[in-house]
Amino acid sequence: MSKTTLNTTMRYSALMLSMCAAFGARAQTAPSTTADNATPAALERPVTSLVVERTDLDASGAVAPATFGGSEYNRDFLRGFKNDSALRNGHRDYGYLGTECFCSMESIEVLKGPASALYGNGKPGGDLNSVAKMPGLTDYRNITLFTSSPGLTRARLDVADVVGDVSYRVNAQAYTGATFADHNGRDSAFVVPVIEWRVTPDLKLTLLYNGGYVDMTWNPQVLANQALLSLPAQRFLGEPGNTTRIVDSTTRTELDYKLPNGDHLRQAFMVQNESYRDAGLTYDTYNHALADLVDQAGNVQRVSQRDRAHQAIFVSQSELIGRGKLADIPVEYLLGLEVGRFDYRYKLEVGAGSAINIYRPVYGAAMASSLDTYADQKYGTDNVVLYSQNRFQLSPAMRLLLGVRAEHYRDYLQELGEARTAQSDSLLSPRVGLTYQLHPRWIAALSWTNSSRPQIGAKSASGKLFRPEAGTQTEGSLQYTSADEALKATTSVFSITRKNVLTQDLASPSFQIDSGRRHSRGIEEDLSYSFTPALRLDASAAYTDAYVSQDTVLPVGALLAGVPKWFTSLYLGYDVTPAWSLGAGYVFESRRTATLPDNGVALPAMSSVDLTVTYKTKKWSIDATLVNSGNQRGFTSDGYVVTPINPREFQLTGRYKF
């Protein structure tokens, strides 16, 4: 996935979150483009939200999380911490997302403040919620064809209609071809049907299914080795026979019943099964330190490796959403019960492999015939949760948000040939937010968010599982909306602490203990300005100071890997005529530490510009996009794996309504 493409061509809107999105439930109904009027009604949006709007969110068409680490839509990090989980239409996950087809997404919300912790993802600084394309359109049929200069082609179909009390929408996609990396290709197909049945005027049933597969070349990830970072982004150091296959099946069901008093009862289920496997030659990080991977002759050491994984997720959410009064104070409330189960099976096998020269690669090496098992484990969790989030209208100018999540969970971990280890615990995560209208054009907000997250899949030297990671965030924000609503600007200041972070056990260096702490603080600015009805600028900038505040090995004050201190994103759109429009996107990330602990390798500052032109009629449209128009070199990092940004690439997309 091209992180640069996502960052530079998306449009940002700084919104104060609506009640539905702020509560994290029924997020599919949350507005994607609603403007905030600077009136007391705007106080219904007490938490900052950032909504990503883009015609094509990703040229590859689907996001497959690398080694099941989580799906990263637009940034590797949110406010200084790894973005390793997300929400889908308000459903939580366990940090392991199945492959999501972007053909089915309407928008992506970046939740901040109390809303981000409602479903317990353990990220008080923010969370991502993908909003699906829902039925409701009448006699709608749309086909999209895409091609890129490396040779990737894609076809999408979007069909919707309303038949009596039933409405449906089907998105389907297939793509094939080459990526920008040498000897790398992808094949995939997905289908995402959605059905809404208005059983009675007060009862609605929604069914959604996401199913498909991805077959692609398994490309060894770039690591923080100076020789590897000096190579062109296209350089491939695996073997053309390296393979990855992902198969996903996810079903979501929701019943919504409107009570006579206007409240809503919501019952939702999610069932997911996904399998993943890869095989091929990759870097030998098992026997070599990062600095020693490449010898003086330019040969990188490799091993034969095979990974296999399967995950199964079940989540049930029962919610009551409504309005009422408490001691004559108007209150909007959400009460919920969540029951979930997550099971994960992972097996890693490693064997001998031949080196390859990084400057003059010669392919043809085969995998070893015999592989040794390095890991074979099962782990997961069961949980039962009570949660509530309530907003009180204290005065015409003031709103108070109070929420709490009480969770009881049971984790387990079983290594091959060992007895199963289990642990139970209870968590309490409160949060509070306050908004106040200082002036018809100004709204101030304060919030304190607490979150907890079980650490599944790891155990200490004594064989015990780890206590949950805990996080807290304090945030203040100020929003301004001009009288004509042409200018909207939000400034946010935040401070986040994460406790019980895993760090090395000095008594048993091969294991970890949960005594680490990490801290992040910063300031963010989101701005949207319409110079004229045809010319619009969306901009965001952030300063983030993320560092180690306590550890057994790492020095206090060490910067967290991969996190840029300065980040800027701009998008300028101009409608030249009703048919023609132009767009330009710019992204900048400052210099970053590549690994933690710091091995002396740094990722240089990077910037990139995307350019796009669109021609449209009532029936069809054509988009031509030049990704990374200056062909700049750059890298993103998740704190260990380094990903080169797309080199210059031409993309052409055509859409036709029939």
Question: Is the per-residue pLDDT at 230 higher than 70?
Answer: yes
Q: Cis link prior to 597 (omega < 30° from 0)? A: yes
- Pick the closest to residue 455 from 472, 445, 469 (CA basis): 469
Write the DSSP symbol of residue 115. G
- What's the pLDDT at 535? 96
Predicted local distance difference test score (pLDDT) of residue 85:
62
- Helix, coil or strand: residue 113: helix
Cα 336 to Cα 405: distance, rounded to the nearest angstrom: 9
Q: Which has the closest alpha carbon to 246: 270, 286, 210, 222?
A: 210
Residue 140 has pLDDT above 90, yes or no: yes
Judged by average pLDDT, the poorest of 78-82, 262-266, 335-339 is 78-82
Per-residue confidence band for 12, with pLDDT thresholds at 50, 70 and 90: very low
Q: Which of 411, 409, 408 is nearest to 380 (CA)?
A: 411
Report long-range pairs for 618-621 (Cβ below 8 Å, ≥24 apart): 618/657, 619/656, 619/657, 619/658, 620/654, 620/655, 620/656, 620/657, 621/654, 621/655
Going by C-alpha positions, the residue among 122, 19, 119 that lies closest to residue 337 is 119
Is residue 118 very low, low, confident or very high in pLDDT (cuts 50, 70, 90)? low
Residue 426 phi/psi, 5° resolution? -125, 140
Residue 177 has pLDDT above 80, yes or no: yes
pLDDT at 653 over 70: yes
Which of the listed ranges 95-109, 117-131, 368-382 does the model predict with the highest average pLDDT? 368-382
Residue 330 has pLDDT above 90, yes or no: yes
Residue 264 in any domain: the answer is yes
* Predicted pLDDT of residue 37: 29
Residue at 106 is within a domain: yes
**Tell me: the pLDDT tens digits for 19-48?**
222 222 222 222 233 223 222 333 332 233
- In tens, the pLDDT along 363-399 reads 999 999 999 999 999 999 898 999 898 889 999 999 9
The answer to whether position 372 is within a domain reads no
Structure tokens at 263: 């409240």
Establish if 375 belongs to a structural domain.
no
Instruction: Give Rg (Cα) of the chain.
Output: 25
* pLDDT attached to residue 587: 86
CA 304 to chain centre: 30
Give the pLDDT score at 194.
96
CATH number of the domain where residue 605 is located? 2.40.170.20
CA distance 299 to 141: 53
386 is a domain residue: yes
Q: What is the pTM of this model?
A: 0.82
pLDDT for 53 beyond 70: no
Q: Looking at per-residue confidence, does 518 or 641 come out higher?
A: 518
In order of 34, 142, 451, 650, the CA distances from 152 in angstroms are 35, 20, 41, 11
Residue 555 CB burial class (10 angstroms; 0-12, 13-18, ≥19): exposed
Residues 6+ apart with CB under 8 A from 417: none
The per-residue pLDDT for range 565-577, each reduced to its tens digit, is 999 888 899 999 9
Q: Containing domain of residue 93, as a range?
A: 3-367+380-657
Q: Which residue has the higher pLDDT, 87 or 8?
A: 87
| Mean pLDDT of all residues belonging to the chain | 82
Name the domain count of the chain.
Answer: 1
